[in-house]
Amino acid sequence: MTPTVSAARTYLYAPGDRPERFAKAAASGVDAVVLDLEDGVAPAGKEAARLEVGRHDRPDGPEWWVRVDARTLEKDVAAAVRPGTTGVVVPGAEPTLLARVDDLLPAAEDRAGLPPGSVQVIGLLETAHGLDEVAAVARAPRVVRLGLGEADLAANLGISPGAEREELWPARFAVVLASAAAGLAAPVGPVETRLGDDDVLRRSTERLVRQGFTGRTLIHPAQVAVVHMALAPSAEELASAREIVEVFDRADRAGLGAAVTSDGRLVDLAVVRSARRVLARAGLA
């Protein structure tokens, strides 16, 4: 089964050992909740976190993801996969690790009564080896989207980023390029850890959009509305994108070789891809 590709703009982390935060996260207006079994949980709380994640009923509304820990991968995948789970986020994504995840998922889907191949994977690039092999990561089984964990990547590379994180912009480009080359949805941007400054959050999100990202991971519900506004296209961009997609679809249904907008612009597949990305930023994919 080929899963429906996630078009979420925002992914909000909720610690797996804090079940009282699951519903709060879902009610924040976020597109996707990521129940965390990795860095958001202290070592002493890992077993309790797996128990809470494994018995949590995933209500309709947002997508439900689970970030697993490579050190306890088999246990985490077993807890993560249950009805309502959209997929798993794999931090430190490298080809060998993703192959292990793909090996574990069929049995987990079967136990949960889910169709084979229905659980998606987001590969989170956080290591030098993963970034060096980013093309293979993007083409790994089940991977529908890439993300970037800049704090871990900077530590792994020995980089000390400044306030604008320009030292990591080449890594951002590499992830965007690999996503496009593999035909994946545009990648998910990293978290903004400077809480309480909406202007910083807005500016950094707008920069990510210019760099080719259409989503972002978050660590606090208060960030959701700001990021959605920063990701959203202008009214003019949205109207143009709608027209481009509509005229292309009409021409395609009619078997025509070309499509032209009302102001005379020729529409080809590259133009349509850009237009669909604008719609995705508005939550209209």
Could you tell me the residue ranges of all domains in the chain?
10-231, 235-281
Task: With residue 160 as reference, give the H or E element that holds it.
Answer: none
Query: Is residue 30 predicted with pLDDT exceeding 80?
Result: yes
What's the mean pLDDT in 138-150? 97
pLDDT of residue 249: 85
Query: Is residue 234 predicted with pLDDT exceeding 70?
Result: yes
Query: Of 20-24, 139-143, 216-220, 249-253, which range is least confident?
Result: 249-253
| Confidence class for position 265, pLDDT limits 50, 70, 90 | confident
Which of 23, 28, 69 lies closest to 47 in space, CA to CA? Answer: 69
* CATH, domain range 10-231: 3.20.20.60
174-230 confidence digits (pLDDT tens): 999 999 999 999 999 999 999 999 999 999 999 999 999 999 999 999 999 999 999
pTM above 0.85, yes or no: yes
| Confidence class for position 140, pLDDT limits 50, 70, 90 | very high
pLDDT of residue 5: 59
Mode of pairing for the β-strands spanning 259-260 and 266-267: antiparallel
pLDDT of residue 257: 66
| Confidence class for position 262, pLDDT limits 50, 70, 90 | confident
Query: Is residue 3 predicted with pLDDT exceeding 50?
Result: no
pLDDT of residue 284: 64
Q: In sequence order, what are the beta bridge partners of 124?
A: 91, 147
CB 55 within 8 Å of CB 78: no
Quote the Cα angle for 185-78-153, to 5°.
50
Query: Is residue 1 predicted with pLDDT exceeding 60?
Result: no
CB 240 within 8 Å of CB 213: no
pLDDT of residue 271: 84
What's the mean pLDDT in 14-36? 97
What's the mean pLDDT in 254-266? 74
CB 113 within 8 Å of CB 85: no
- Contacts with 236 (C-beta within 8 Å, 6 or more apart), sequence order: none
Range 44-48 contact pairs with CB under 8 angstroms and sequence separation of 24 or more: 45/15, 45/16, 45/17, 46/17, 46/72, 48/17
Burial letters for 134-158: b for 16+ Cβ neighbours within 10 Å, e otherwise?
bebbbebebbbbbbbbbebbbebee
Query: Is residue 285 predicted with pLDDT exceeding 60?
Result: no
Query: Is residue 40 predicted with pLDDT exceeding 50?
Result: yes
